[in-house]
Structure 1
Amino acid sequence: MFVKPATFGMLTGLMLGLVMSFSISFVLLFFNLGPVPDFLAIWLKGAMTGFAISIPIALVAQPLIVRLLNRYLKVQS
């Protein structure tokens, strides 16, 4: 399946935001609360909030970071 580079970048940001917000919220909640009875419901609420915040940040930050790295670094072939 072929996609445009901009679409690939957006999908990358979306997936990174999803994985990071869900995993970080799980670990932090578990460390702070421990295995409480409503852990899953509390975690999902926090994970969805984190996801809603992280997606716009990832979509904005990813192309900026790529441009910055491309300006100062060259990839070896």
Structure 2
Amino acid sequence: MLSRHDRERYGIDFDPAQALWDDPELLEVPVRTMDELRYLLIGRIGGRHWSAVITHRGERIRSISVRRSRKEEVTLYENESI
């Protein structure tokens, strides 16, 4: 589940954030960290670009954070969606 910090700061909660997976152009980029493989998801919800960081824990997907996409993430998404 998303943290209270995400809900308060970015104005999105767990249920609406799940709509990111409904984007047919959803972009998933592997991101290496020291302890586990994480993924940056970039997609659109309600016409706006959102980014999520997730990790896989066995059969489950754990959402770490969701926020509005940065300019470079929007550019990456738009270039990959062509």
TM-score range, shorter chain: under 0.3
More strand by share: 2
Whose helix proportion is higher, 1 or 2? 1
RCO comparison, higher one (Cα < 8 Å, 6+): 1
Q: TM-score scaled by structure 2?
A: 0.24
Rg comparison, structure with higher value: 1
| TM-score normalised by structure 1 residue count | 0.25
